[in-house]
Amino acid sequence: MFRVPVIIAAIVAIAFGGAMLSAVYALQATIGFGSIAIGPWTAWPLAQTERADPYAKAHRARAGQLLLGDAEGLVFFADSDSDGERLVVECNYVISGQTPPARFWTLHATDADDALLEVNSDFPSAFHSQNVAKRQNGAFVINVSGTPKTGNWLATGRRYQPFKLVLTLFDTPTAGSSRLIDLQMPEIIRQECRNG
């Protein structure tokens, strides 16, 4: 007597649960469609615009982050080095080169959940275009490491975990350009690694 309603209820519960899990997975897996990859750096130029696809809009709403408008800037993420190896705190890296033209830029490191890495408050955890030492041609070299380095040093802390680099370009002609793929981005070169 209750067999048919129980089977229907079980099917509905499985379908609803599966749909919810697939939606959460899709939102965690990508910011949306239309990504541009330049070396190890990836950006989603349309993710913060009204032309964004439904996944990008849902990702933005779920993360609760205020994103830059189309003319305000562009955010690049890197979770691997220039050789395609995953960025991990137990290794040291050198970021070298130049950023695309921008009035102002920032660089910081986050964990896999986009939270800032926990570092000693006395250590530098971010750089921007006004506080980084540059060469005469505008190029820079930033050491990314859990141990202090000379020159520009971005601290990653001592906790062993993967991390991401976030480079944000503000007020840049790059954001509205159709030639993003031709941009020159800084290289990320892996150096020595500590044992965990």
Cβ atoms 146, 63 nearer than 8 A:
no
Q: Give tens-digit pLDDT for 163-176.
A: 999 999 988 776 55
Superfamily of domain 34-193: Domain of unknown function DUF1214, C-terminal domain (2.60.120.600)
Distance CA 117, CA 119 (A): 6
pLDDT at 38 over 70: yes
Kindly tell me if the per-residue pLDDT of 30 is higher than 90. Answer: no
At residue 140 the predicted structure's pLDDT band, cuts being 50, 70 and 90, is very high
Domain boundaries, the chain: 1-30, 34-193
Banded model confidence at residue 72, pLDDT cuts 50, 70, 90? confident
Residue type, 188: I
127's enclosing H/E stretch is strand 126-128
Determine the Cα–Cα distance for residues 174 and 163; give it in Å rounded to an integer.
25
Q: What is the reported pLDDT for 34?
A: 62
* Predicted local distance difference test score (pLDDT) of residue 66: 61
Dist CA 150 CA 139 (whole Å): 17
